[in-house]
Structure 1
Amino acid sequence: MSEPEPDVKPNILITGTPGAGKSYLCERIASELKFEWLDCSKIAKEKNFVEEYDEEYDCPILDEEKLMDHLEPLMAKGGNVVEYHGCDFFPERWFQAVFVVTCPNTTLYDRLKERNYNEKKLASNIQCEIFGTILEEARDSYKSDIVFELKGETKADAHISIKTVKNWYRMWKRK
């Protein structure tokens, strides 16, 4: 990889099961590193990048192509922290680091219950975390040396995760 220019910033993906702690982490990372926070779920809702609505899971189905078309020019600039609960459809070239936030099932259950997830959606997300689906998806979709696991159970975990991302960024700038 060639040396990054001083003003060039990488793009970072923060992914993980809903409720794992991605938003808390993204907000702070974006603020501390002066990155743009791109919350894909929020963008999809605001821009109506929705194919249909899944009544069974009580959630919209993302139109991935429309989202990616929207993100492409933003990603080309660099300096983005992208948040989404999936990662396998994003182009590998977009990210210099992929951080997967994980969370113990009991904590995750409580968080999702608090969000009023229906039983089917709740069970599906807990199962996803039990089997490490998002982490496996990230490892299958990106080079192993750019995929990192972060813990999202407590505020202390979040602070460690923020330090981890900031340390990664410092190392990236030295390349």
Structure 2
Amino acid sequence: MTSNSNGRVPKPNILITGSPGTGKTTTAAALAEANGFRHVNIGDLVKQKSLHDGWDDKFDCYIINEDLVCDELEDLMEQGGNIVDYHGCDFFPERWFHHVVVLQTSNAVLYDRLTKRGYTGQKLSNNIECEIFQVLLEEAKESYSQGIVLAMQSDTVDDIDRNVATLSQWIRNWRPVKKVLSNVSVCWE
């Protein structure tokens, strides 16, 4: 990551993840605005920059090319100060994020949100099952250090407001850590 004169990234990067309909984009946009950060919506980025391998008719969405997405974001992420939102998280480099937030929504609320978006059939049932089995929380825990993964409830506007306030407080309290290698031996063959 790009650093300032003392070797530190000036602002943290946060990933907001969760099943579709959990409020990722709403939360990410509000958090970015409240803190003067950039909001990076991966779905929009994929469409705008054609970072995909075509359209999936079965799930009615683009098939994102994860390598292209990561290449596109590398320089931006090194600068810090990004709130990234996407429903998946396991393909992003671990070094990019200082906090990974998994939004969770009760099944009845999520069902209503997704059906209002026009989700039906397998797309609807897969997303509800993903939430029931906490697939994205487990994915985050497997992909990132346990200390940076946080699950937050996101059923209501009050929940979103509370989450933005909590994360804004975390941002205000965040202090970059300078990584120093000490006692390193290098062997040359």
- TM-score of the pair, normalised by structure 2: 0.87
TM-aligned CA deviation for residue 16 of structure 1: 0.4
1:111-130 → structure 2 map (5 Å cutoff): 111-130=113-132
Cα offsets for 1:137-163 (capped at 9, x unmatched): 000000000000111100110111011
Match of 1:87 among 77, 86, 89: 89
Q: Which residue of 1 aligns with 2:68?
A: 66
**Is the CA contact 1:12–1:99 (under 8 Å) kept in the aligned structure 2?**
yes
Runs of 4+ in 1 over 3 A off after TM superposition: none
Amino acid at match of 1:169: I
1:10-49 → structure 2 map (5 Å cutoff): 10-49=12-51
Larger radius of gyration: 2
Instruction: Give the secondary structure class of the aligned counterpart of 1:86.
Output: coil
| Percentage of matched positions with identical amino acids | 43
Indicate yes or no: 2:154 matched with 1:152.
Answer: yes
**Is the CA contact 1:4–1:173 (under 8 Å) kept in the aligned structure 2?**
no
**Is the CA contact 1:113–1:122 (under 8 Å) kept in the aligned structure 2?**
yes
Cα offsets for 1:100-152 (capped at 9, x unmatched): 10000111111110110131100000000000000110000000000001111
Amino acid at match of 1:129: E
Q: How far, CA to CA, are the matches of 2:116 and 2:42 in structure 1?
A: 22
Q: Which residue of 2 aligns with 1:139?
A: 141
Q: How far, CA to CA, are the matches of 1:135 and 1:42 in structure 2?
A: 23
Instruction: Give the secondary structure class of the aligned counterpart of 1:98.
Output: strand
- TM-score of the pair, normalised by structure 1: 0.94
Q: How far, CA to CA, are the matches of 2:33 and 2:175 in structure 1?
A: 18
Aligned-residue CA RMSD (Å): 1.5
Q: How far, CA to CA, are the matches of 1:159 and 1:32 in structure 2?
A: 11
TM-aligned CA deviation for residue 174 of structure 1: 7.7
Amino acid at match of 2:44: K
Considering fraction of residues, name the structure with more helix: 1
Structure 1 gap ranges (5+): none
TM-aligned CA deviation for residue 4 of structure 1: 7.6
**Is the CA contact 2:10–2:176 (under 8 Å) kept in the aligned structure 1?**
no
